[in-house]
Structure 1
């Protein structure tokens, strides 16, 4: 019995060490991510205070850049709060009947501007589909779809395509978000749902990514009792898919 007791205590100690290491890494990541937009905004504002305010063009350009840095900080903080609530179990899913075809069309309208900037085409398949009823928390599934579709647009090639495909069986709908962008290599796929993990760090920051979107997606879908799968081929594109029960 004493050997069992010692073994159990050893496991507890190892788990505590693992959690402490995880906490330290998380705090280091958060600290780094928060500093970037804060220092950027501070730099622009200090430059203005030191005399650049007198030049109207410089003033406007620097104020726009400072505003963008603060917007990125706001998005990052909101994502951190959302992820923290999901991981701690504080967020309860409230299932209701949701028309995914209608919701996707609404999200396309919201993201139309960034899609046009990249000349990316957005499509729903089957075409002319008007009703795909599922049981889900509408606000959270909206968050999932916005993250997946906006990523598919932002990390696509100029002139690319994003397709949301609906397939059904007796009990579920499978929802897939596909793009024909550069794809993700296998070495990255296993880690893309980790907090702050970025396949292309510089490009992600340039596009306003926080590195938390896919972690949030994973936790929301897990809370719905489902999982997200990803298939990707370098040079051909990526497909994210998940199932939801029919409503």
Structure 2
């Protein structure tokens, strides 16, 4: 008896038993029997032609038949279905054929079923990967929408807070000017200082919103890093002296070179990094500002002898609202050791530097409050010697002045 005759002999019991085992309900079983008959016909063609790829169309259709809920719950497994079909072929052949005929048939079907299992696994994997990719894209889209919503809320809240804050600030100043009691003035000075700090936080919130929405505008003007760092040294000297921290700014090649950048924003970015260094450097520590000239860039390095930053925190310190350590253990001082804050300074700094076409990164062996391994921040600023505004270019020229 030929293999074709053997296949015809087991066709009906094979289809009936497999449908009964895999399908539940008369209507479902009837439709499934049609699909199994199609599979069996292609199985026969694959065996007779010696080309197992005849089975591909039905496997492809079955691989694409599960619903989204089936994939989500992991209820559909094409490889299992093909394996069951192979097992039922063995069982039905044993029941309906002689041992010799069964061996001959199984020898003919084994190659096709082996191919079908491999192909089913491939189709199944592709389907699962496509589903997961779609799920990840959906989640990513939702996260981006959520982030935009948070950014918009921050922007609206910050602007809404500005109006009452301005009123508090104005009335406080008026009261200070109108009273003569020294004790009351001291209290009001405290209120004024708190209002000033709150305004700084609100401005940071607005800056974060601008950066998140790519709306940060830069006013490119001539800038000399030597002058910018000198101003920062004077501004931060009282904070450093109060904690006996040495702030050392070394001259470096390119620090007296004219570049075009936004002086106010660069001042803000460098101040944020220096303030951060002061926060996490113990009393009597040291902060060194250095730099070098690189092809197309000027690098500023701010190195401290502070407690350092753990490797895991180095991946997140430039994300907004991220804080190092436990907030409950932070002091409320802006420059006090481990002083607290909303976690906006470094994200704003990164946004400013990247808006200039530069980059910033951190390097630290780790965090240890006993050994204080320190931290180094590296800032790369483009060596932009030409102004974007033709009028500015005409006024200052494009060549670096010689001092």
Q: Which TM-score bucket, shorter chain as reference?
A: 0.7 to 0.9
Q: What whole-Å deviation, never above 9, does each CA across 1:188-239 have from its counterpart, x for those lacking one?
A: 1111111111103242644363310001001111111121010013322111
- TM-score normalised by the chain length of structure 2: 0.48
Partner in structure 1 of residue 232 of structure 2: 107
Q: Paired residue for 2:35?
A: none
- Give the Cα separation in 1 of the matches to 2:324 and 2:266: 24
Are residues 149 and 167 of structure 1, via their aligned partners in 2, closer, same or farther at CA, if it must alter by over 3 Å? same
Q: Deviations over 1:13-33 (max 9, x none)?
A: 4333213443577669x99xx
More strand by share: 1
For the residues of structure 2 that align with 1:178 and 1:184, how far apart are their CA atoms?
12
Per the TM alignment, residue 129 of structure 1 is displaced from its structure 2 partner at its CA by 8.8
The 1:166/1:142 distance shift into structure 2, 3 A limit, reads same
Give the 3-state SS of the residue equivalent to 2:350 in structure 1: helix
- C-alpha RMSD of the superposition: 3.6
The worse-fitting range, judged by mean Cα deviation, of 220-229 and 15-24 is: 15-24
Q: Which stretch has the larger CA shift, 201-210 or 167-176?
A: 201-210
How many residues are matched? 224
Match of 2:356 among 224, 238, 244: 224
CA distance in 2, matches of 1:132, 1:70: 38
Please state if 1:157 is matched with 2:282: yes
Partner residue in 1 for 2:292: 167
Determine if contact 2:253/2:293 at 8 Å carries over to the other structure.
no
1:203 to 325, 330, 334: 330
TM-score, structure 1 as length reference? 0.75
Distance 1:231 1:157, change over 3 A: same
Question: For the residues of structure 1 that align with 2:193 and 2:346, how far apart are their CA atoms?
Answer: 22
Alpha-carbon distance in structure 2 between the residues aligned to 1:203 and 1:132:
40
2:266 maps to what in 1?
A: 141
Q: Deviations over 1:52-80 (max 9, x none)?
A: xxxx96x6776555444433321111101
Tell me, yes or no, if the aligned pair for 1:134 and 1:244 is still in contact at 8 Å.
no
Deviations 1:60-109 (A, max 9, x none): 77655544443332111110111111221222223333110111011110
1:241 equivalent to 2:378? Answer yes
Structure 1 contact 75–210 (Cα < 8 Å) conserved: no
Q: Which has the higher contact order (CA 8 A, sep 6+)?
A: 1
Supply the distance in 1 between the matched residues of 2:319 and 2:331 (Cα, whole angstroms). Answer: 15
Partner of 2:218: 93
Deviation at 1:176, TM superposition (A): 0.8
1:74 aligns with 2:199: yes
Q: Structure 2: which 5+ residue stretches go unaligned?
A: 1-126, 162-181, 335-339, 386-403
Question: Which sections of structure 1, spanning at least 5 residues, go unmatched?
Answer: 36-55
Residues 236, 74 of structure 1: CA spacing in aligned structure 2 closer, same or farther, 3 A cutoff?
Answer: same
Q: Which residue matches 2:244?
A: 119
The DSSP-based 3-state class of the residue aligned with 1:165 is strand
Asked if the contact 2:222–2:259 (Cα under 8 Å) also holds between the matched residues in 1, the reply is yes
